[in-house]
Amino acid sequence: MSAQPSVPDVDNATLEDRLYTVKYEDPGDSHLDVKVPGFCAERCDTDDCIDVCPAGVWQQTDDGVPQIAYENCLECGSCRFACPLNNVVWEYPENGAGVTYRHG
Amino acid sequence: MTEPTETTDPNYDGAFDAIVVGAGLAGSAAAITMAREGLDVIAIERGSSPGAKNVFGGVLYTPTLRELVDVDDAPLERYVAEKRFSMLTPEDETAVSMRPGAWHEEPHNDSYTVLRGEFDEWLAEQAVEDGTVLVTETTVTDLLRDERGTIVGVDTDRPNGELRAPIVVLAEGANSLVTERADLKETADRSDVAVAVKEVLEFPDTEGAIEQRFRLTDEAGVSYHYFGEGAVGDAFGGGFLYTNEDTVSVGIAYRISDAVDRQPKPEETLNAFKSHPAVAPLVRNGRTVEYTAKTIPEGGPDAIPDLVHDGAVVVGDAAGLVLNNGVHLEGTNMAIESGYHAGRAVAEAIEAGRVDAAALSSYPEHLEGSFVVRNLERYGWLMERAIEDRDLLFADLPRAIADAGEEYFRIDRDPKAVHAENAKERVLETVGGWTGAAKLAWRYRKVVS
């Protein structure tokens, strides 16, 4: 018997591979934005949108205004609730675009 | 399936008694109810099909659904034959598991695992068979009001997309943009909303993995819930594991207010949960077939917005109708119940030739008398207390119980009386002695009573 209890390795897919499992149609334009970029740059030092997002949509930049990889979005809406400055613009992707869950 | 009808047809404007915004479970339950009451109903779904944008844990509880449709025809995955509640420290698991024999018999305690893509599409088809017109790939962008402020229809992203009808049923889910934009509810505080991520796993290389790992035969399945540091760190929430027919759903959910400052990112928290010594053997060699995310309204009874307005009703997640008291995690059943009561109220109002909020008041009245609001109110106190006691409940107590269990069953040459005394002391020192234990029991007596 080994002294160490064996915990099987769980090979977790990378975020990129996880997002690849979701069917996606690009609406062409971002359905996400920030209302006032200056708020992100000057008033925000918590980056809550980045911390909460399960899909890596919100990304750090040098100027403090997050870059938005909207095509990663799983449409959960957590960034909208998370932002303490209420600075997230969130629209539904139109005409059926965005994610399509096959299982859900 | 029924072909979605083109929405540019100008005849639609004014052609319906009710517009349902969102063909999820609440919306389709409302549509079915109203269509059977003889109303002309149109359901507008922004996804490419009903369910395309929807996800839950999930176990669906079906008593109300059974009243509306033939559940035997529904795409159910497995019935729940075991419920298991686990406390996890980073290294330990202490669990309670129930496998009542009666759950193997129909109707299986009305508890089934479900995948929403297939299920929501099926339920919407039932609404269509009852006469509902379903329009997909169409997004409601705003509500229309008349000069007195009564809601008289919706605007959509279609050309000439305005659509008027006496009643609008808002069933747009937790991220309720239209309802909020129309000032029918406030944006929920982030301490009242959970972020959830889930993976659907398949096991292509392990024949019979689900049956063997979860001790299942035929259509039996499991519902496992996990709490404590080993599940979601010191965030307020937990992990879950449900068996579907050929896949396993594994995920976590915790408050957004914790997600932003207490935890690594959701997908990293999910990775840690899946790698826990008690969870890893159940999900190993799983291949991710889908990764999903959702917000869950968990504000309890105080966060329910006004449910009726002049010309509109709010149902399901958009109305914040989710119960999470740690033991019971319910929402889809409450969505269906709310859609049903709303649909009946709308039919009564239309019959009476009225659309004002007062004419729709039988919806909130019936909902308040139903299990939905009664359960929410019964457990409304719990969240506040659990947040006050979070360190004890999610970290210290699971650790103490795991240690006590280890001590109680310790095999050495000491008599059992010594181990029992040590185990007891280990728990008592954490809860503050017998007095503390009694206070704690009293404080949480209503969880199971």
pLDDT digits (tens, 9 = 90+) for B75-125: 999 999 999 999 999 999 999 999 999 999 999 999 999 999 999 999 999
252-271 of B, contacting A, C-beta below 8 A: 256, 259-261, 265-267, 270-271
A90–B175: do the CB atoms touch at under 8 Å?
yes
Distances in whole angstroms, Cα of residue B220 to Cα of each of B63, B223, B244, B282, B286: 19, 11, 9, 16, 20
Distances from the Cα of B145 to the Cα of B135, B286, B353, B356, angstroms = 22, 51, 18, 13
Identify which of B335, B195, B311 has the alpha carbon closest to the alpha carbon of residue B253.
Answer: B195
pLDDT at B176 over 50: yes
pLDDT of B7 over the 50 cut: no
Query: Distance between CA atoms of B309 and B146, rounded to whole angstroms?
Result: 13
Residues 24-53 of A with CB under 8 A from B: 25, 46, 48, 51-53
Write the pLDDT tens digit of every residue in A36-68: 999 999 999 999 999 999 999 999 999 999 999
Using an 8 Å CB-CB cutoff, list chain B residues near A76: 175, 195-196, 293-295
Most A CBs within 10 Å: which of B8, B92, B290, as the mutation test of the A interface? B290
Mean pLDDT of B305-319: 98
Phi, psi for residue B205 in degrees, rounded to 5:
-95, 0
Residue B260 burial by Cβ neighbours in a 10 Å radius (0-12, 13-18, 19+): buried
Three-state SS for B13? coil
Confidence of residue B423 (pLDDT cuts 50, 70, 90): very high
Average pLDDT over residues B391-406: 95
Q: Per residue in B350-384, pLDDT tens? A: 999 999 999 999 999 999 999 999 999 998 888 88
- The CATH architecture one would assign to domain B190-297 is 2-Layer Sandwich (3.30)
Of B137, B284, B292, the CB nearest to A10: B284
- Tell me what pLDDT residue A4 has: 62
- The listed CATH number (3.50.50.60, 2.40.50.140, 1.10.3720.10, 3.90.180.10) that belongs to domain B10-54+63-70+115-186+302-369: 3.50.50.60
Q: Residues of B numbered 137-156 whose beta carbons fall under 8 angstroms of chain A's beta carbons: which are they?
A: 137-139, 141
Retrieve residue B278's tokens. Answer: 């008690």
Instruction: Give pLDDT, residue A6.
Output: 78
pLDDT for B11 equals: 66
User: What value does the mean pLDDT of chain B take?
Assistant: 95
User: With contacts defined as CB-CB under 8 Å, which chain B residues touch A78?
Assistant: 193, 195, 256, 259, 293, 295
| Cβ-Cβ contacts under 8 Å, B267 against chain A | 15, 18, 54
The whole-angstrom separation of Cα B20 and Cα B397 is 46
CB B80 within 8 A of CB B214: no
Residue B384: what pLDDT? 82
Compute the average pLDDT of residues B185-207. Answer: 96
Task: Look up the CATH number of domain A31-93.
Answer: 3.30.70.20
Task: Give tens-digit pLDDT for B212-255.
Answer: 999 999 999 999 999 999 999 989 999 999 999 999 999 999 99
Distance CA B210, CA B203 (A): 8
Among candidate residues B197, B196, B179, the one with its CA nearest the CA of residue B188: B179
Half-sphere exposure of A20 (CA within 13 A, CB side): 7
Equal fold, B10-54+63-70+115-186+302-369 vs B190-297: no
The total of other beta-carbon atoms located within 10 Å of residue B285's CB is: 15
Tokens of B256: 């957004």
Angstroms from B431 CA to nearest CA on chain A: 30
Pairwise pLDDT comparison (B278 vs B11), residue with the higher score: B278
Is the pLDDT score of B418 beyond 70? yes
Tell me how far apart the alpha carbons of residues B98 and A80 are, in angstroms, rounded to a whole number.
Answer: 39
Question: What share of chain A in percent tops pLDDT 70?
Answer: 95
Confidence of residue B1 (pLDDT cuts 50, 70, 90): very low
> What DSSP assignment string belongs to B84-127?
EEEEE-SS-EEEEEE--GGGGSTTGGGEEE--HHHHHHHHHHHH
Q: In the 8-state DSSP scheme, what is residue B147?
A: T
Count of A-B CB contacts under 8 Å? 165
User: Least CA distance to B198: which residue of chain A?
Assistant: A104
| Phi-psi group of B336: left, alpha or beta (phi > 0 → left; psi -120 to 50 → alpha; rest → beta) | alpha
Residue B173 has pLDDT above 90, yes or no: yes
pLDDT at B8 over 90: no
The answer to whether A103 contacts B292, with C-beta atoms less than 8 Å apart, is: yes
| B54, B175, B274 member nearest A10 (Cβ) | B274
Residues 6+ apart with CB under 8 A from B392: B430, B431, B440
Choose among B168, B170, B166, B184: nearest CA to B354: B166
- Residue boundaries of the structural domains of chain A: 31-93
pLDDT-based confidence at residue B201 (cuts at 50, 70, 90): very high
Contact B48 A96 (CB under 8 A): yes
B341 has pLDDT over 60: yes
Q: Do A18 and B291 touch (CB under 8 A)?
A: yes
> Where are chain B's structural domains?
10-54+63-70+115-186+302-369, 190-297, 384-447
Strands B59-61 and B111-113: antiparallel
Q: What is the pTM of this model?
A: 0.95
For residues A102 and B54, give the distance between their C-alpha atoms in angstroms, rounded to a whole number.
10
Overall average pLDDT of the B46-55 stretch: 98
